[in-house]
Each structure stands twice: as structure tokens, then as C-alpha cells.
Amino acid sequence: MNLKEQVGYKAVDFVKDGMVVGLGTGSTVFYFIHALAKKVKEGLNVEMVSTSIQSIELAESLGMKVKNLEEVDRIDICIDGVDEIDKDFNAIKGGGAALFREKIVADIAEHVVWIYDESKDVEKLGAFNLPVEILPFAYNHTIRKMEELGLKPVLRYKDDKVLVTDNGNFIVDLHLGYGFDIKSVENKLASVVGLVEHGLFLNTCKHCIKGTPDGPIIIENPNK
Ligand code: 5RP
């Protein structure tokens, strides 16, 4: 098993009968969804919601039914990946452009579990550019505002076209650099009109499952 597969399969241990499960997005969650589908076939009874169309399609292709968020009254657990995570359990997410739905699901969820391979572990955030979802309406002005704030925004493209998220919005990646001041960036982003959500997930998870060559390590966040 590769490290992503290892943690994806380990994460199903957190899922219990009767739970409403939030499916994250990405290449690590890909394995979790496969592992969950296996358990469901074996008789595990859960409901699920998703953070992306990609994960809905994967779950459905494996025979599972995914509900809309409006159809559930709670989310018991959310299993998702990260692009970077620091020692204070602050993470950057949105590499897969799903950050807005990921943040909603994480916010509703009672229990958030991040799964990742050890390459995502960092002393400080910032080697990975910070994704931000913005409205297409007046997007060039929103980007200019972020430039004026020194946030170094770069509009994200896919296949030579501006990337459009599941919500019909655009993504800009902020080239902030390693060790950027998290609070200062958060404050600056709060002043930008036209911004839908950003990919800073601060002290969000209760547990991490980190994949290492010696096997998965479960880490509990004492401040959650
Ligand atoms: C998608 C995300 C993903 O969770 C993040 O990009 C990690 O993905 P992967 O497991 O493929 O490395 O935030 O928006």
C-alpha cells in the first residue's frame, strides 16, 4: 500500500454505524472512499454528503448514495486531505479547488479527521500557495485588491481555460511564501469584497492520520 492508500483505509476505523459522513476531496480521500465502499458492501450503514462533484461521482460509481447537505441535519465525521499542515494543526487546503465546500462540511462536522502522507507535514505553512475562491463578477478588481494588499494572487487555469469550481467561481492562488504571517493574511483577506472563501483551515481537525513508511500514525489535536 502506498502512504495515501494506507491512511485512506485507516480512516474507515473512525466511521461507525449510523453516522453521517462528510467525504473530502483529492487523491488521498480517493482511497478512503474506496475503503468506505468496501465497508458499506459488508453491511456498514451510513449516510454521506460530499465536498465535491468529483467525490460524489466516485462514491456513486462504487454503488453508494450521496445526499445533498440540505437533506441532513448533521455531519458526524468529515474525512478530508490537506495540502500542508503545521505543528499547530493549521492547514492549507484547496489544491483540488474544493475548498469552499470542504470548509462548509468541516464547519458543520462534529469531528474532522485529516488524512495525508508525511510529505504534507511542515514546520510552517507557505511552501504551498494559498488557494482562495472568488466570484467571477468583477474578478479582475478582486484580484487587483489582493495585489494591492501584497497577497500576490495568480488566477488558476486548467487546460488553458480559467478554472471554474463546482460553485461556478474562480480560484486564485496566493504566492505568500514559506512562513507567512497567518493572522495578518487572514485579516487582509477579510477585507476583500468578492472573496467567497479561503483555504486556511485553522485548528480545524480533531485527529490526523499521517502516512509514514512505518505505517499510519494517529495524532490527536489537544486543542480541539
Ligand atoms: C482539495 C483539497 C485536498 O484535500 C488537498 O488538495 C489534498 O489533496 P491530495 O490528497 O490529492 O493531496 O484541499 O481542494
Mutation probe of ligand 1 site: the residue of 83, 114, 120, 128 with most atoms within 8 A of C-beta: 83
- pLDDT tens-place string over residues 179-217: 999 999 999 999 999 999 999 999 999 999 999 999 999
Query: CB under 6 Å to ligand 1: residues?
Result: 24-28, 80-83, 93-99, 102
Phi first, then psi: give them for residue 56, nearest 5 degrees: -60, -50
Indicate which atom in ligand 1 lies nearest the CA of residue 95: 6
Mean pLDDT over 118-139 rounds to 98
Task: Single out the residue of 25, 190, 194, 199 nearest to residue 103, CA to CA.
Answer: 199
- pLDDT tens-place string over residues 27-74: 999 999 999 999 999 999 999 999 999 999 999 999 999 999 999 999
* Whole-structure pTM value: 0.96
Concerning whether 102 is annotated as a catalytic residue, the answer is yes
Q: How far apart are CA 30 and CA 52, in angstroms?
A: 12
Alpha-carbon Rg for the chain in angstroms = 17
Which of 42, 47, 57, 102 is catalytic? The answer is: 102
- What share of the chain has pLDDT > 70, as a percent? 100
Q: How far apart are CA 195 and CA 197, in angstroms?
A: 6
Q: How far apart are CA 180 and CA 206, in angstroms?
A: 24
pLDDT score at 55? 98
Mutation probe of ligand 1 site: the residue of 4, 27, 30 with most atoms within 8 A of C-beta: 27
pLDDT score at 21? 98
Average pLDDT for the chain? 98
Are 8 and 30 spatial neighbours (Cβ–Cβ below 8 Å)?
Answer: yes
- Written as nine digits, the cell of 187 is 485579516
- Gap between the terminal Cα atoms of the chain: 30
